[in-house]
Copies of this chain bind each other. A is one copy, B any other.
Amino acid sequence: MIRRLSQARDRGIPEATVARLPLYLRALNGMAERGLATVSSEDLAVAAGVNSAKLRKDLSHLGSYGTRGVGYDVEYLIYQISRELGLTQDWAVAIVGVGNLGRALANYGGFVSRGFRVAALLDADPEVVGDHIAGLNVEHIDELEAVITRRGVSIVVLATPATAAQQVADRVIAMGVTSILNFAPVVLSVPEGVDIRKVDLSIELQILAFHEQRKADRMTGGPVMAEEWPEAVDL
């Protein structure tokens, strides 16, 4: 059978699965580097930190790429997942906001390695414009529209202050950008069809604090704190 066409690939991959594919990909790359030719769902699952049934179900959404009794071909699976994630093409990314975080992102090796190319850095501060960071010239935010067009930017990373984020988002969306990774601590409102992913350092810490507190409470023998508004308790 030479051309097995899209019989299995039902175009609708669950969001939860998509979020795990990069994890599998990373584990597989490690295995490829170590020269492994095939891997079982069990081993790959351990390497990716999930359970093997989930892994198999995830992969089954892409197609039937394993061999029963054997496992998965490492290189083949890398290719299939990469293709599914769209990493076989390269994506031009613009980073807006070249503060501490923007600089860190620009220098972050993980971007380049997997199909992503930082194609532009932009900032509003004249002090920063013109700086060379990670081999790129920082351009002025006024150039935003021109840069997006000229460099074919399709993904924008927002590392601006919270106050500027919505405004920049509006401008890039007007230019046709539909994928935004937002580091600014603000809820962006965007039209239908635009994908926003949000990374919020402060929220992550707050979630940890919640669990940490709960663990501490358990140590000291359950809820001893007042349940009331302080004033209400005292009166």
Tell me which of A86, A113, A189, A229 has the highest count of chain B C-beta atoms within 10 A of its own C-beta: A86
**In whole angstroms, what is the CA distance A205 to B154 when docked?**
11
Q: A110 contacts B187, CB within 8 Å?
A: no
Among B19, B110, B179, B189, point to the contact of A202 (Cβ < 8 A).
Answer: B110
| Contact flags A93-114 to B (C-beta < 8 A → 1, else 0) | 1000001110111011011011
Q: A91 contacts B212, CB within 8 Å?
A: yes
**In whole angstroms, what is the CA distance A49 to B189 when docked?**
8
A146 at interface by CB-CB < 8 Å: no
Indicate how many identical chains form the complex: 2
Q: A195 contacts B208, CB within 8 Å?
A: yes
Q: A76 contacts B6, CB within 8 Å?
A: no
Chain A interface size, as a band, is 35 or more
Q: B187 contacts A49, CB within 8 Å?
A: yes
Q: A208 contacts B227, CB within 8 Å?
A: no
Residues of B within 8 A of A5 (CB): 227
Closest residue on chain B to residue A181 by CB atoms: B204
Given A111-B202, A111-B205, A233 and B91 contact (CB-CB distance below 8 Å): no
Q: A21-B206, A86-B212 provided; 17 other pairs, C-beta below 8 A?
A: A4-B228, A5-B227, A18-B210, A26-B185, A47-B187, A63-B227, A85-B209, A85-B210, A87-B209, A91-B212, A101-B108, A114-B206, A116-B202, A155-B208, A179-B208, A181-B201, A195-B212
Q: Rank and list the top 4 A-B pairs by shortest CB-CB distance, nearest first.
A: A86-B213, A100-B104, A110-B202, A49-B187
